[in-house]
Amino acid sequence: MSFTDTLRLVLAPPHPAGYRFIAVGVLAFIIGLVLAAWLAWLGLLFTLFCLFFFRNPERVPPSRPGLALAPADGRIVSIAPAAPPAELGLGDAPRWRVSIFLSVLDVHVNRMPVDGTLTRSAYRHGKYLSATLDKASVDNERNALAVRLADGREVAVVQIAGMIARRIICDVHEGAKVRAGERFGIIRFGSRTDLYLPEGVLPLVAVGQRMIGGETVIADLEA
C-alpha cells in the first residue's frame, strides 16, 4: 500500500455510528480548554481515536460477477467446515467457514460478500469471549444474515461480538436486494466476522492472510 493510499485510509470520513462518540470527545475538549488542560488532552485523544476507529473508506469491488468478497477488514484466524448458525434455517450440513478477526486498528465497517437477496436476519444473545477463539463463532453474541444468490444457493455472513465489542449494528433488512461490497453494518471496538460459503465452494484464501473488506476475493462461486 502506497503512502497516499495509507493516508487516504487513515483520513477517511467516519461512519455515522461514530458521530455521537466524536461529539462527546469534542465537547470534552472544549470544556477542558476552559476548566482543565488534562480534560482537553483527554477529549482530543478520544476524538482522534474515534475518528480513526470509525473511519469508513470507499472500496472498489472487483467488476467480475460470481465472486465472494471479504465481508470485513482483518486477519483470517480460521478456515474450517462448519454448519451455519441454526437460526438462519440453512440446515446442518457443514460448509466452508472463513473467520476474520478485526482488531481495534482495523476498519470495522462490514460489507456484503455477494450479490443477492437478504432472506433472513437473526440476532442472538450470547457470551463475549475473545473473538480470536474458534468457539466465539458458536458461543458469542451475534447477528447472522442469509443471502440468496440468483441461482438459489445461499451464503451466510455473521457479525460476532468480542471481549470489547458490545454493539453490533446492522442496517439491512430481510427482503433487501444487496450488492457485493456495499456497506451493511459495523461492530464497535474489536470483533469477528464469519462467512459461510455455499456447499461445495472452496475458499481461495489462507489462515493469517489479511483481508480488505469489499475487495479481497475469498472464493469463486462459479468454479
The 10s digit of each residue's pLDDT in 174-193 is 999 999 999 999 887 668 89
Cell numbers at 191, concatenated: 470483533
Whether residue 163 sits in one domain with residue 72? yes
Whether residue 88 sits in one domain with residue 35? no
| pTM of this structure | 0.87
Report the distance separating Cα 74 and Cα 208, nearest Å. 9
Report the distance separating Cα 60 and Cα 156, nearest Å. 22
**Sign (positive/negative) of CA torsion 104, 17, 156, 222?**
negative
Helix (H, G, I), strand (E, B) or coil at 16: helix
Residue 59 belongs to some domain of the structure: no
Residue 163 belongs to some domain of the structure: yes
Residue 138's domain comprises 67-220
CA-wise closest residue to 113 among 125, 101, 100, 124:
100
pLDDT digits (tens, 9 = 90+) for 51-83: 988 888 898 999 888 999 999 999 999 999 999
Cell numbers at 63, concatenated: 467488476
Number of domains in the chain: 2
Return the active site residues: 191
- pLDDT the model gives residue 207: 96
**Cβ–Cβ under 8 Å, residues 40 and 32:** yes
Residue 58 belongs to some domain of the structure: no
- pLDDT the model gives residue 86: 92
Is residue 108 predicted with pLDDT exceeding 60? yes
Residue 207 belongs to some domain of the structure: yes
Residue 62 belongs to some domain of the structure: no
